[in-house]
Amino acid sequence: MLELQTNLKRKIELLGLALDNSACYRDIDFAAMFRRDVPTIKRDMKELRGEGIDIHSERSKGIQVSSDIDTGLLRRLIIQYMGLCTAEGGIDRATRLMVKKVKAKSLGNLVKLQQCIERSKVVRIDYQKDSRHREKDRELYPLLIFSSDGYWRVLALHQGEMKQYHLNKLLDVRPTDRTFTRPPQEDIEKVFRYSFRSWIGPEEHHIKLRLDRIWAERIQPQQLLETQALTAEGDGSVTFEATVNSLSEVAGWVVGRGKGVTVLEPEALRNMVIETARGVLDNYSA
């Protein structure tokens, strides 16, 4: 298993470096870099071509990728690569929290959910919603396991709606023999497009924020949302616009930033920020 992971990591790194057109890596350069022989590098390239990547060695330019890579494949490779890198360092906070909370159940729950995802099987779960509410025999159509906001979660259909569930709160997972029709992949990806932090829902709200110069310098290098647009103003501030699916999450984020982040639109978000800030102040009132 370790050898397979090492080989996959090397192939992805080879591809990433070959995509840099300003460099001119030859197979002998990669062989020295990865401490492998040239036939191994050539085999890596052949396997990448087998995945639909047009990677070849040219005499004058070195190893080059001649055509664009499918974005879906590119995302998958990045996820695999980051998974391999973070697993080695043991820095996955979401995994640590899950193991601490549900211990040995964590691996079993993950495996059963993933198998049901791959086979489009219905599952039944027992779920500790909060300290007082426990749900038993909830029926789910599991679609995707993902990590968000420091927790492992499963995206699933329940009574026709897409919802997410904390794996830390899963008390039991019971696969069934029943199958379900999986929605198109683009529908699954769409639910994440407007997610500001972790909320997943069908709503769409256009927001506009003003970031003062200090916050603009902090935020500009980041990609908080796929839909975001930044407009630089003459005074050094920035107008931040995006589409989100939860105003309450944005309101909490704005209050958490403190001075320097102002809501311009919509009015409902402004009011939500004011109410949230007042609630915080009330905690400290005499």
Top CATH class of 2-87 equals mainly alpha
Tokens 């905690």 belong to: 283
Q: What's the CA gap between 240 and 230, in Å, rounded? A: 5
Q: What's the CA gap between 149 and 57, in Å, rounded? A: 42
Task: Report the pLDDT value the prediction gives residue 285, as an integer from 0 to 100.
Answer: 75
Task: Report the pLDDT value the prediction gives residue 72, as an integer from 0 to 100.
Answer: 83
pLDDT in tens, 253-279: 999 998 999 999 999 999 999 999 999
Which fold is adopted by the domain 95-191?
Answer: SH3 type barrels. (2.30.30)
Question: b/e for 232-255, b at 16 or more Cβ within 10 A?
Answer: eeeeebbebbbbbbbbebbbbbbb
Q: In what order do the strands lie in the sheet with 134-148?
A: 161-166, 151-158, 134-148, 121-128, 170-179
Q: Is the Cα dihedral 230, 233, 236, 240 positive or negative?
A: negative
Task: Report the pLDDT value the prediction gives residue 92, as an integer from 0 to 100.
Answer: 65
Which residues, at least 6 apart from 251, have a Cβ–Cβ distance to it below 8 Å? 269, 272, 273, 276
Task: Report the pLDDT value the prediction gives residue 88, as an integer from 0 to 100.
Answer: 44
Average pLDDT per run of 10 along the chain, which is 286 residues long?
78 89 84 93 93 87 87 83 61 76 88 94 94 92 87 92 92 95 88 79 90 89 84 93 92 92 96 93 80
Residues facing 174 on adjacent strands: 124
* Paired tokens of 71: 């974005």
Tokens 């086979």 belong to: 119
Task: Report the pLDDT value the prediction gives residue 223, as an integer from 0 to 100.
Answer: 79
Which residues, at least 6 apart from 69, have a Cβ–Cβ distance to it below 8 Å? 52, 53
**DSSP E strands, 68-217:** 121-128, 134-148, 151-158, 161-166, 170-179, 205-211
CB atoms within 10 A of CB 259: 8
Q: What's the CA gap between 9 and 213, in Å, rounded? A: 40
Rounded alpha-carbon distances, angstroms, from residue 82 to 14, 78, 91, 179, 231: 15, 6, 11, 32, 31
The model's pTM: 0.65
Which conformational region is residue 179 in: left (phi greater than 0), alpha (psi within -120 to 50 degrees), or beta? beta
Helix (H) or strand (E) holding 55: strand 55-58
Task: Report the pLDDT value the prediction gives residue 91, as an integer from 0 to 100.
Answer: 42
